Amino acid sequence: MPGTYEPIATYTVSGSSAADITFTSVSGTYTDIIVVGYVRSTRAAGIGALGIRVNNDSSSLYSSTRIYSNTAAGTAASDKFQGSYLEIGELASASGGSSIFVPLIAHFNNYSNTTTFKTVLGTTRHSATSVGVQQMIGLYRSTSALTEFKIYDAYGGNLAVGTNVTLYGIKAA
């Protein structure tokens, strides 16, 4: 278990929706970074995609594999994704009820190392309107240190009022 979790920054969407939450100028003094929050989309219907983009890089260097279950339907499945962001999971929309926020945990391992690609482990709820769980393992195929983290609805909705995200740094044990 890591020695210390230190909150670096917290952002809560208030007043009106936000296109994204972006943490910039993240110091390289930690071993890992963890993004923790509760998020919701303003999309009128359907689901959103909880996306994370690092270093303002919109190239196709991201890939992920998700394993998920929907306990209400008694189903389980997996899929792969490659694109211009890490797809952590699904986001609840306005049609899903006003109180549904999706939990988010994304653990970026060895984020400041400049000799290896970056891996991320994500946990969220699967299917923004039902009970389920989703695990994601992702890869950002760059050796650049990660200094910026952008959280947003990759399907085009904004983040709803009440969305709350905290960035934590983990110090070595």
Domain ranges of the chain: 4-171
Percent of the chain with pLDDT over 70: 88
Give the pLDDT confidence score for residue 131 in this predicted structure. Answer: 64
Range 4-171 classified under CATH 2.60.120: yes
Give the pLDDT confidence score for residue 160 in this predicted structure. Answer: 92
Give the pLDDT confidence score for residue 109 in this predicted structure. Answer: 95
Distances (CA, A) of 38 to 3, 47, 80, 90, 116: 25, 15, 24, 12, 30
Dihedral of alpha carbons 47, 123, 111, 119, sign: negative
Q: What is the pLDDT of residues 17-58, one digit of tens each?
A: 999 999 999 999 999 999 999 998 898 877 778 899 999 999
Mode of pairing for the β-strands spanning 48-54 and 86-91: antiparallel
Give the pLDDT confidence score for residue 135 in this predicted structure. Answer: 86
Percent of the chain with pLDDT over 90: 58
Q: Are 63 and 138 in contact (CB under 8 A)?
A: yes
Residue holding tokens 């959103």? 48
Q: Are 128 and 96 in contact (CB under 8 A)?
A: yes
Residues of the chain with confidence (pLDDT) below 50: 1
Give the pLDDT confidence score for residue 134 in this predicted structure. Answer: 80
